[in-house]
Amino acid sequence: NTIKLLTARGVKYLFPVQVKTFQPIYDGKDVIAQARTGTGKTLSFALPLIEKLQNVSQDGRRGRAPKVLVLVPTRELATQVAKDFKNLTKKLSIACFYGGTPYKEQRNGIDILVGTPGRIKDHIQNSKLELSSVKHVVLDEVDHMLDMGFAEQVEEILGSSYKKGSENNPQTLLFSATCPRWVYDVAKKYMRDEYKQIDLIGKKTQRTATTVEHLAIQCRSSQRAGVLGDIIQVYSGSRGRTIVFCETKKEANELAMNASLKQDAQSLHGDIPQKQREITLKGFRNGVFEVLIATNVAARGLDIPEVDLVIQCSPPKDVDSYIHRSGRTGRAGRTGVCICLFQRREEDLLKQVEHKAGITFKRVGVPSATDVIKASSSDAKKLLEAVPPSAVDYFRKSAEELIDEKGAVAALAAALAHISGAAHIQQRSLLNSTAGFVTMVLKCSIEMHTMGYAWRGLKEQLGEEVDNKVSAMRFLKGKMVRWASLRNEGIWRFVCVHT
């Protein structure tokens, strides 16, 4: 039955972490498992636990206490994990407790309970939840849970099920993408001496998913909203799915209302009521809208299939945050792209992420006008191909009139431009994304040791007033200097070559 349910979900084979953890968990061993984000950690503990419970005689008593307790740091992750369990079994009762959930589920009996520490603790204190029968305890995203200050709550919850030195303590399973040394120290308090440690990262320096390409784009904070639409259009398209992570709720709301976004977007953060958050996530999964703009609330554990692009609006100070955010794409073996926007003063933060995450960002410029037009026209062609012949007939007469007036190619090109929303393209600097600038290259036959050489060459060609019209000058490799100049001042019309 489990195989049929897995096949129905499109699961044809297990990932390495699922293969390596199945037998130890099924045999009742305590396990610490570390694997990269997006490699199927939830199924790693859900599958063997369900098989184990289904192979013993079922206790169908009304009001029965849970046999499995799964603790997770956020309500969104709790919902996701509970859903994964429900997709694997029709025999067992699964409940999910987080802020605002009713008490009635406990009265009907529970086999597997998933919840956040705060809500589970409330149920225990109100004598609504009995954990004395728990045989298996899972701490998912354990590093994040303890780091968020849940350590005391977790210990209070587990205190009713664990007795010091007892061999009858529940089986304990710890899962996470990052496991610093102190996590193991805390784990020993709840685990048997001979626990199984499964590390699929080991001494490899890269801690992010290997299927994700990491790009970095320099962008001033004032230009971020305008640039976002072009980046999504080029790297994800009008029908691809994108998650944008920002630091504040205010920024999430403002970006979701951003006029430069051609795709439908909605925000997700802590001020949004839980019911609406669930509706938003369901809509994103089902393709009702293409862009989800979120704060940290959506970063951990959510398995949203086929996310093409992740954008981080600034380099996070906590490298683990970058690892988990980038892990929303490139999941289950699919490829993905993660783009980190940064300001020049944030270069050190970017290098810190590279060093600690074991990755190298490919520095790229903001998409050029040509890039945006190319991506937009490609999307528009796909939209035209999807129009049914029955609808075409209604527009045939108007099309013939346009062809007579403009010519076939010009008429179709204008239609594609309008459909794609690319009728008005904003020219931007490739160096720092500033609107109204165009990037150029100054070539010289001798090596330039300072920017002064470049400024001198520019002034000779364009006059002394060029000072106020050029910004963001940078050295390239070798003998070239690249600079951005104001489009509306006419300087962009010249390409200067010194020989």
| Per-residue pLDDT reduced to its tens digit, 248-264 | 889 999 898 887 777 88
Position 325 pLDDT exceeds 70: yes
pLDDT at residue number 102: 66
364, two tokens: 């790229």
The CA distance from 116 to 76, in Å, is 10
- Is there a domain that residue 482 lies in? yes
Q: Where among 369, 384, 408 does a domain terminate?
A: 369
**Residue 54 — φ and ψ, nearest 5°?**
-75, -20
Rounded to 5 degrees, φ, ψ at 151 are -55, -45
* 222 and 94 together in one domain: no
Which residue range forms the structural domain that includes residue 393?
A: 371-420
Distance CA 426, CA 226 (A): 9
The CATH number assigned to the domain holding 471 equals 3.30.70.2280
Residue 432 covered by a domain: no
Q: Return the minimum-mean-pLDDT range out of 61-70, 192-201, 417-426.
A: 417-426
Whether residue 327 is found in the same domain as residue 459? no
Decide if 46 contacts 85 (C-beta within 8 A).
Answer: yes
24, containing H or E segment = helix 16-26
Output the six-digit token pair for 187: 């784990």
**Are residues 272 and 332 located together in one domain of the fold?**
yes
Provide the pLDDT for residue 206: 54
Kindly state the average pLDDT of the residues 350-371: 86
Same domain, 338 and 383: no
Q: What is the DSSP string of 440-476?
A: EEEE-SS---SHHHHHHHHHHHH-GGGGGGEEEEEE-
**Any domain includes 232:** yes
**Closest residue by Cα to residue 128 from 142, 146, 113:** 113
Last residue of a domain, one of 199, 221, 252: 199
Pick the most confident of 67-81, 103-117, 184-198: 67-81
Give the least confident one: 1-10, 69-78, 227-236, 420-429. Answer: 420-429
- Whether residues 407 and 395 fall in one domain: yes
What confidence score (pLDDT) does residue 422 get? 60
Over range 270-290, report the average pLDDT.
Answer: 85
pLDDT of 459-497, one tens digit each? 777 777 776 677 667 776 654 444 444 444 444 433 333
Give a yes or no: residue 427 inside a domain.
no
Distance CA 278, CA 288 (A): 13
Domain assignment present for residue 428? The answer is no
What number is the average pLDDT over the span 24-29? 93
301 neighbors 289 (Cβ within 8 angstroms): no
**Whether residues 468 and 480 fall in one domain:** yes
pLDDT confidence of 244, banded at 50, 70, 90? very high
Same-domain status, 363 and 273: yes
**431 located within any domain:** no
205 falls within a domain = no
List the Cα angle 375/242/214 in 5-degree steps.
Answer: 85
Say which residues have a Cβ less than 8 Å from residue 71's Cβ, sequence separation at least 6: 115, 116, 117, 120, 137, 138, 139, 140, 145, 154, 157
Q: Does 62 reside within a domain? A: yes
* Beta strand extents in 306-404 (DSSP E only): 309-312, 336-342, 362-363
Average pLDDT score over residue span 294-303: 64
Residue in the block written with tokens 């006059």: 463
**Band of the pLDDT at 499, cuts 50, 70, 90?**
very low
The CATH number given to whatever domain includes residue 232 is 3.40.50.300
Residue 103 has pLDDT above 70, yes or no: no
Regarding whether 127 and 22 lie in a shared domain, the answer is: yes
Q: Are residues 445 and 416 in the same domain?
A: no
78 and 48 within one domain: yes
Query: Looking at residue 482, what is its pLDDT?
Result: 46
Residue 179: which residues within 8 A CB-CB, separation 6 or more? Answer: 32, 34, 142, 143, 199
Compute the average pLDDT of residues 82-95: 90
Same domain for 316 and 405? no
194-203, 252-261, 356-365: the lowest-pLDDT one: 194-203
Number of domains in the chain: 4
For residues 414 and 420, the answer to whether their CB atoms sit within 8 Å is no
Quote the percentage of the chain above a pLDDT of 90: 16
Instruction: Return left, alpha or beta for 167; rule: phi > 0 is left, psi -120 to 50 is alpha, else beta.
Output: alpha
Both 52 and 184 in a single domain? yes
**CB 320, CB 33: distance < 8 Å:** no
